């Protein structure tokens, strides 16, 4: 069935370093890929998204890349700050109009 | 814009009782709302997709008679956990699809349900 795999499950970086989270999806008809940030006890918040007709999108310190051929997409956070610490979820909206979420990556940014 | 509210934020109930959770899109009309369940340190598990004016579509393994979903208007969907048991204790989150079919889901703040 439809599946989104996300790696790593946990990521610890030093403040100022970059963090990269990678996801792969199974449904080649997927055409929309959002990324959400969820702080402890709070709702997931959309931080960036990309559509299948675009290979890369950037918003300040956050960027997302998409490789449709390989069916994978990645989140890049540069110059990480302690407030970036959270759980990040990737997702893929399939041709069946269902959004499938990855398992999440717990990011720790050490000051 | 694109604010989704959820009520209540926390509820504690006795085993065997029913609990209703409301999800509202405050500044947009949501033809589709989603209900998720999230266990501690785990991902979002889709329970059902709710379309205004029609029956909800439940995911495999989710009991539709236990988790009743009603989407009576373009801004309100409700989830009722019937005859709740301790194993139903969880964090329930709703989301509403973005305006004009933009694909983006906006999440409510979640409801922490504890069944004693």
Chain A residues within 8 A of B46 when measuring between CB atoms = 98-99, 101
* Percent residues over pLDDT 70 in chain A: 97
Token pair in block for residue B17: 């009782």
- Identify the pLDDT of residue B100: 54
Instruction: Closest CB to B43: pick one of A41, A93, A103.
Output: A103
- Identify the pLDDT of residue B112: 96
- Identify the pLDDT of residue A85: 97
- Identify the pLDDT of residue B71: 87
Token pair in block for residue A93: 């909206």
Mean pLDDT split into 10-residue runs, chain B, 116 residues: 91 97 91 91 90 87 94 91 96 83 85 97
**Contact by Cβ (8 Å): A83, A39:** no
Separation CA B110–CA A33 (nearest Å): 22
Separation CA A74–CA B46 (nearest Å): 23
Is residue A2 less than 8 Å (CB to CB) from chain B? no
Please name which of A56, A58, A55 lies closest in space to residue A47, comparing C-alpha atoms: A58
- Identify the pLDDT of residue B4: 94
Is residue A37 less than 8 Å (CB to CB) from chain B? no
Is residue A54 less than 8 Å (CB to CB) from chain B? no
- Identify the pLDDT of residue B72: 81
- Identify the pLDDT of residue A44: 94
DSSP-derived secondary structure for chain A? ---EEEE-SEEEEETTS-EEEEEEES-TT--EEEEEEE-TTS--EEEEEEETT-SEEEETTEEEEEETTTTEEEEEE-S--GGG-EEEEEEEE-TTS-EEE---EEEEEE-
Is residue B41 less than 8 Å (CB to CB) from chain A? yes
- Identify the pLDDT of residue A67: 95
Q: Which residue in chain B has the smallest CA separation from A89?
A: B43
Q: What are phi and psi of B100, to 5 degrees?
A: 60, 25
CA A89 to chain centre: 5
Mean pLDDT, chain A, integer = 93
Q: Mean of the pLDDT values across residues A42-60? A: 92
């Amino acid at each position: 069935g439809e599946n989104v795999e996300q790696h790593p499950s946990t990521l610890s970086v030093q403040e100022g370093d970059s963090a990269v989270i990678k996801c792969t999806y199974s449904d080649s008809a997927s055409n929309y890929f959002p990324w959400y940030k969820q702080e402890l006890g709070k709702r997931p918040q959309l931080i960036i998204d990309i559509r299948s007709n675009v290979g890369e999108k950037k918003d300040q310190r956050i960027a997302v890349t998409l490789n449709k051929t390989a069916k994978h997409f990645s989140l890049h956070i540069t110059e990480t700050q302690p407030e970036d610490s959270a759980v990040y979820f990737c997702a893929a909206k399939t041709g069946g109009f269902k959004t499938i979420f990855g398992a999440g990556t717990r990011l720790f940014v050490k000051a | 814009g694109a604010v989704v509210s959820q009520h209540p934020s926390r509820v504690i109930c006795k085993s065997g009782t029913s609990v209703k959770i409301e999800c509202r899109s405050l500044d947009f009309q949501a033809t589709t709302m989603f209900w998720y369940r999230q266990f501690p340190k785990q991902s979002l598990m889709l329970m059902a997709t709710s379309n205004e004016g029609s029956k909800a579509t439940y995911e495999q393994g989710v009991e539709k008679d236990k988790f009743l979903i009603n989407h009576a208007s373009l801004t309100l969907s409700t989830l009722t956990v019937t005859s709740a048991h301790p194993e139903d204790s969880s964090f329930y989150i709703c989301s509403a699809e973005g305006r004009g079919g933009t694909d983006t889901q906006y999440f409510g703040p979640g409801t922490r349900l504890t069944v004693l």
